[in-house]
Amino acid sequence: MSDRDGKPNFRNKGGKPFEKGRKFARSSTWRERESGSDGPVILYGWHTVSAALANPERHIRRLYLTENAARRLAEENIETPVTPEIVRPSTIDQRLGPDAVHQGLLAEADPLPSPGIDTLELEGIVLVLDQITDPHNVGAILRSAAAFAVKAIVTTARHSPEATGVLAKSASGALELVPLVTVQNLARALTELNDRGFMTVGLDSQGAEDLGKVELQQPLALVLGAEGKGLRQLTRETCRVVARLDMPGEIKSLNVSNAAVLALYIGASRLGLMG
């Protein structure tokens, strides 16, 4: 699929014209700024930045575009809430590193607000992530969550990647579509989900039941553990059900982002949400 394919259908909003801007400040690197909790969220790549520009809840601080990227935004009638600074591709390369596929777009933005457990709708599916630390995996899970209309993703403030940089790029715009609920204590959050009527189902290779045979109900919370470690003991004990994903092949385990897709498909199918 090319980068132009599969764009989310966002509303455009009024903005400002493109103009040449000053060069980046040299006081700190992006990696240093990403690591600070008070720093801006760093967004780059076509889907990631265009989705953020179209999200009325996202406050963009600064926007850097190459001339080609600015032209493409104009051609697709995507306006900007701030006046962008036009820079060379190499300038963005220097900030993000040679491996970042930025496609000529980079934005600094404020983090999106984190809703509370008590605000979640009592329908559909939410995902709960138990210390999944790889930003590529979390970004891929976010993208799948958006495809399956997941209501929210619950994750911990510690032992989880920040919603910036690589994670945002891997999510391909889904960061603007799926709310991230950040909690301090996952077991306490699962208990609150249980109390609110969620069916909490932990996914584990040693689960007593096959997820495809569990009688699922809404609202459903699917709980995923980190690769290798899986679900922590207290997480397992707090889930109402611990289930496995049975597969016919020789390899019985999946990458966590792939397991999330399979679990979401099973859950959405069993709950009649695929229509």
pLDDT band at 32 (very low <50, low <70, confident <90, very high): very low
User: Residue 266's closest CA among 249, 235, 244, 250?
Assistant: 244
Nearest to 154 by CA among 170, 177, 118, 130: 130
Residue 1: CB atoms within 10 A of its CB come to: 5
* Across 219-238, average pLDDT: 94
Mean pLDDT of 70-74: 96
pTM, two decimals, is 0.85
Letter string b/e over residues 230-268, b meaning 16 or more CB atoms within 10 A of that residue's CB: bbbeebbebbebbbbbeeeeeeeebebbebbbbbbebbb
User: What confidence score (pLDDT) does residue 98 get?
Assistant: 80
Contact 262, 205 (CB under 8 A): no
Neighbouring CB atoms inside 10 A of 13's CB total 13
CB 141, CB 132: distance < 8 Å = yes
pLDDT of residue 104: 96
